[in-house]
Amino acid sequence: MLITILSGVVYGVQSRLIQVEVDVSQGLPCFQIVGLPGSEVREAKERVKVALKNVGVKLPPVCINVNLSPADLPKNGTMFDLPVAVGIMTALGELKREMVEGILFLGELGLSGELKPVKGVLPIVREASAKGIRKCFLPADNRWEGALVREIECVGVPRIQEASAVLRGERQEALFESGAEKRPVPVVPEEGAGKEPVSAVREKEPDFSDINGQCALKRAAEVAAAGFHNLLIIGPPGSGKTMLARRIPSILPPLSLEESLEVSTVYSICGLLQSAGSLKTTRPFLHPHHTVTGRALTGGGRIPKPGMISLAHRGVLFLDELPEFKRETLDILRQPLEDRQVQIARSSGSYVYPADFMLVGAMNPCPCGFYPDRKRCRCTPYEVKRYLSRVSGPILDRMDICVEALPMGFSDITAREKGEDSAQVRKRVMAARERQEERFAGTGLRFNADMNAADVERYCFLGEGELRYMERMFSCMQLSARAYHRILKTARTIADLDDSDRIGEIHLAEAICYRQSDRKYWRQHTL
């Protein structure tokens, strides 16, 4: 008897529905799984056999063949345990065919029949919903994750016995959270209905008011947040570089519902959404140690998984002590910063992960941290050169904003007057964000930083006076084409914060100032 059960698998951040075809026939006793199964899938037959035995389903001496269709796509993971078990039970007459038709099954089986949580539930359930599936069975620990998709009823069961009882109609009590009942519901933001879920923990985040002084640094962070620009902070130890970087998420625009689902999908694939307990509603903030490997950043492995730059998607990737990272590790970021995605090629196929993040780097100007203050700096010119050369020119070129953090004075440290809090700054950032939404409506662009060269020509129009000004600056500063376009994008953001439709010389001048700090150090110190 041939039975077809619906399941799914994740490829990159995309998912595909899989038909689990189970055939039980007379013949020499056997149990085999075909259709490019990975090692975890091949081991499913042992888990399924023992689990069915322990829940009272006796397997007769028959030939069991399982085909995972489409057969030309590799299958990995443990989510096929439940659909294989349900297919066998249906083929043996324990369940009727009509009970399982049109239902998605996902779950790993323990030897006692317990259903254990699996990774990647959210993207698979979203794909099933898009294909017209209206019901799915999941492990109890995954039920809330599936319930985030409103259009599908998610049945969360702790054991395969309960799944069988619900399918037969023997259990009428609510063993599950359905799409119409309890679910983590995204909250509509304060800034405007329909835009986004607002983080419930925003009040607990570090606040901008904790930073005394450093007005120029805070202004640069505001510009970076408004346009989602990459930011590099240079300054001596104790000047507040890390303190400010940790507070940037508090002034960023909140995630839209679409962005929240994108981020949650990546975390679901990595198995990190379960620990969050709900949909990701805050922009991610990743802070890797300088010993991190290139693979950890980009992702990969035998079965590719997203790396830290994909986990930072729609959020902030903060690299503290930037020159301490291996140069080859930093250079790996060049392509993702341009393409906003990571592509990993394997013999089994090509996997694409999103990587649209805001890069924030912090560094000292020299190994001891006090250059150019020669009263405190003890580094030789060669040591300074060697230290700065660890950050390559292409990486510097991709930093839209570079700003110095000045040493903190006693009056700054002991000042009782607090500066603006994050809510005030975020209000201006959101206003600039709304201007960008209006400008880029229907284009697929979100922030000024997303513009390519053609977009810059279209949206960053300069008058004759501004063109002459930029011509002088281009020649004087020996700018590259990439640096020129990034200055215009930054100027466009500054004009948005100024509520100006036109980019003026004052906006260009401020944007150019944000390119001076890197030139101050790297032009004089090159190997």
pLDDT digit string (tens) for 2-42? 999 999 999 888 899 999 999 999 988 999 999 999 999 99
Please report, for the domain that includes residue 143, its CATH number: 3.30.230.10
Q: What is the DSSP string of 126-148?
A: HHHHHTT--EEEEEGGGHHHHHT
115 shares its domain with 225: no
Q: Is the pLDDT of residue 102 over 80?
A: yes
Q: Is the pLDDT of residue 199 over 70?
A: no
8 shares its domain with 54: yes
Domain assignment of residue 176, yes or no: no
pLDDT digit string (tens) for 138-150? 999 998 888 888 8
Last residue of a domain, one of 116, 146, 168: 168
92 shares its domain with 208: no
Q: Is the pLDDT of residue 117 over 70?
A: yes
Domain assignment of residue 331, yes or no: yes
Domain assignment of residue 518, yes or no: no
148 shares its domain with 219: no
CA atoms within 13 A on the CB side of 108: 16
Arithmetic mean of pLDDT, 416-433: 89
Please report, for the domain that includes residue 328, its CATH number: 3.40.50.300
Q: For 121-137, give one letter per residue: b (16+ CB within 10 A) or e.
A: bbbbbbbbbeeebeebb
57 shares its domain with 164: yes
Report the distance separating Cα 326 and Cα 339, nearest Å.
Answer: 22
Q: Which ranges of 237-333 would DSSP assign to H, the alpha helix?
A: 241-245, 257-269, 273-276, 294-298, 308-311, 327-331
In this structure, the strands spanning 30-34 and 63-69 are: parallel
- The confidence score (pLDDT) of residue 32 equals 95
Q: For 275-307, give one letter per residue: b (16+ CB within 10 A) or e.
A: eeebbbbbbbbbebeeebebeebbbbeeebbbb
- The confidence score (pLDDT) of residue 274 equals 65
Using pLDDT thresholds of 50, 70 and 90, give the confidence band for residue 194. very low
Last residue of a domain, one of 436, 463, 479: 436
90 shares its domain with 215: no
Token look-up 């069991």 returns 64
pTM of the full structure: 0.86
Last residue of a domain, one of 380, 408, 436: 436
Share of the chain above pLDDT 70, in %: 91
- The confidence score (pLDDT) of residue 266 equals 93
- The confidence score (pLDDT) of residue 316 equals 96
134 shares its domain with 261: no
Total domains, the chain: 2
- The confidence score (pLDDT) of residue 524 equals 60
Arithmetic mean of pLDDT, 327-356: 88
Q: Is the pLDDT of residue 301 over 90?
A: no
Report the distance separating Cα 30 and Cα 23, nearest Å.
Answer: 11
Q: Which domain holds residue 44?
A: 2-168
> Do the beta carbons of residue 250 and residue 378 sit within 8 Å?
no
Using pLDDT thresholds of 50, 70 and 90, give the confidence band for residue 70. very high
Arithmetic mean of pLDDT, 467-489: 89
19 shares its domain with 102: yes
Domain assignment of residue 392, yes or no: yes
131 shares its domain with 237: no
- The confidence score (pLDDT) of residue 440 equals 94
149 shares its domain with 232: no
- The confidence score (pLDDT) of residue 7 equals 97
359 shares its domain with 303: yes
Q: Is the pLDDT of residue 195 over 60?
A: no
Domain assignment of residue 182, yes or no: no
The rounded mean pLDDT for the chain is: 87
Domain assignment of residue 215, yes or no: yes
Torsion sign (Cα): 180, 185, 189, 190: positive
309 shares its domain with 416: yes
